[in-house]
Structure 1
Amino acid sequence: MARESYQEKLETLQDDVLYMSEVVTDRLRLALESMEQKDHDTAWDVIDGDDEINQLYLDLEEDCIDLLALQQPVAGDLRLIASSFKIITDLERIADLAVNLAEYTLDADRDMSPEVDVQAIGNTTIEMVEDAMDAYAEEDIDACFAVAERDDDLDDRCRQASDTVMRDLIEKEVDADADEAEVEAIMQDVSRLLLTVRDLERIGDHAVNISARTVYMVEKDDSLIY
């Protein structure tokens, strides 16, 4: 393989990682939309589309392995390939969490804790992932650290949201005549909302992971990894 071809393959790898991120964030938006609109068709689109993302991941994994095995890259090229491999792993897991959100939509029976703005939290996580991927594309270290700083605020919002859900459950008056099935439905809805908040928080964590790998890729700085 000529050196020029090798460099082209590195550029193609980055382009393909960015394409995967676009597909993943689009699915995440659709999952949040399905929750807001209680749209089962959109939820199924997200669930059924997960195979495409898994295939993207496997194809990119193979590309990374080929570059490592055939070219024996060193220094910056090695970090680029290794970081890209780690980033696609985070993207695949974000896609899995989007599937979780879509599945919660299918299971939802009623609105719980309307004061918890799931959509606002979800939009923040999408922005964090997009900002992290822009930083990867531009090798923007400052942007990477900005994503990490935003995660502290996201964690606080998720913690407050979970506290609100639990408070509402404690304060909720269940009709004395409610049967076991109705009580069970309420508990399942509460559990679903808590899982939604947890999964959104985890998406933010993956955005930080992406930023951390970019910082390491560019400056061999592991301060965000550990």
Structure 2
Amino acid sequence: MARNSYQTLLNELEEDVLYLSELVAERVRYALDALEDKDERKAEEVIEGDHEINRIYLDLEQDCIDLLALQQPVASDLRFITASFKIITDLERIGDLATNLAQYAIDAENDVYTEVDIRRIGDAALDMVDQAMDAYESEDTELCHSVAERDDNIDTMCNQASQTIVRDLMTGSDFEGDGELDPEEFLIDVRRLLLTVRDLERIGDHAVNVAARTLYMIDNDDSLLF
């Protein structure tokens, strides 16, 4: 295959990876909106859209395999293809987490622990994903390190939220809800909230993975991979 045609395939792969990231980010935003507004329509849209994300992921996975199998990529191209292969896996998993969040929005019966700012945590995690993809597109090593450094902030926010919930349960503090809640229903909602916090933290972790793979792609630097 002519070199210019091969380069076109590499450029198309990058564009498609970036498109997948935009789609996934949109799904996460919709899921956060659904959680905040108790909007079942948006939540269902996120859940139904997961099929599209999976289809694009599988297509891109095959594209990466074809480039590796049918071409003889030089070292820099090989790193780009393998990094892209790993990054789309993280993006697909973020899409799965968006689906989880949407399902929580549908299942939640009551407002519990409204002092836990889920939207703030979600926006921070999503901003890390956007920054990691900016690093991928622009091949910016400083952005890669910045994403990794921001992960501590997400971890702290999630830990504080979880501790608030568990502390109030342990001490029997009052909670806010709509009327009289059955204790079992309340505990189910609390568990769902803890799972929400956990999934937001995982989105941040996947953003770090994207940054780590991008740094390796750019500079053959594996310092963020371990």
Q: TM-score, normalised by structure 1?
A: 0.95
Distance 1:31 1:171 in 2: 31
Contact 1:125-1:203 at 8 Å conserved across structures: yes
| 1:151-170 mapped onto 2 (5 Å cutoff) | 151-170=151-170
Q: Which amino acid aligns with 1:82?
A: T
Distance 1:87 1:28 in 2: 17
| 1:160-191: CA deviation from partner (whole Å, max 9, x where unpaired) | 000001122223368xxxxxx91110110110
* Unpaired stretches in structure 2, ≥5 consecutive residues: 175-180
| 1:133-159: CA deviation from partner (whole Å, max 9, x where unpaired) | 000000000000000000001101100
Aligned to 1:72: 72
Q: Give aligned-pair identity as a percent.
A: 60
Local SS of the residue matching 2:109? coil
Distance 2:35 2:53 in 1: 21
Aligned to 2:177: none
Q: Does 1:59 align with 2:59?
A: yes
Q: Which amino acid aligns with 2:65?
A: I
Distance 1:173 1:163 in 2: 13
Distance 1:168 1:186 in 2: 13
* Unpaired stretches in structure 1, ≥5 consecutive residues: 175-180
Distance 1:158 1:112 in 2: 16
Distance 1:60 1:218 in 2: 20
Distance 2:98 2:38 in 1: 15
| 1:119-158 mapped onto 2 (5 Å cutoff) | 119-158=119-158
Aligned to 1:101: 101
| 1:1-226 mapped onto 2 (5 Å cutoff) | 1-172=1-172, 182-226=182-226
Alpha-carbon RMSD: 1.1
Q: What is the Cα deviation at residue 41 of structure 1? A: 0.9
Distance 2:57 2:210 in 1: 15
Local SS of the residue matching 2:182? helix
Distance 1:26 1:206 in 2: 16
Contact 1:169-1:190 at 8 Å conserved across structures: no
Q: Which amino acid aligns with 2:12?
A: T
Distance 1:34 1:172 in 2: 29
Distance 1:68 1:147 in 2: 28
Q: What is the Cα deviation at residue 72 of structure 1? A: 2.2
Q: TM-score, normalised by structure 2?
A: 0.95
Distance 1:43 1:192 in 2: 15
| Aligned positions, number | 220
Local SS of the residue matching 1:49? helix
Distance 1:138 1:74 in 2: 20
Q: Which amino acid aligns with 2:138?
A: E
Q: Which amino acid aligns with 1:96?
A: D
Q: Which amino acid aligns with 1:69?
A: A
Distance 1:173 1:37 in 2: 25
| 1:5-60: CA deviation from partner (whole Å, max 9, x where unpaired) | 00010011001000000000000000000000001111000000000000000000
Distance 1:53 1:172 in 2: 42
Moved over 6 A (4+): none
Aligned to 1:178: none
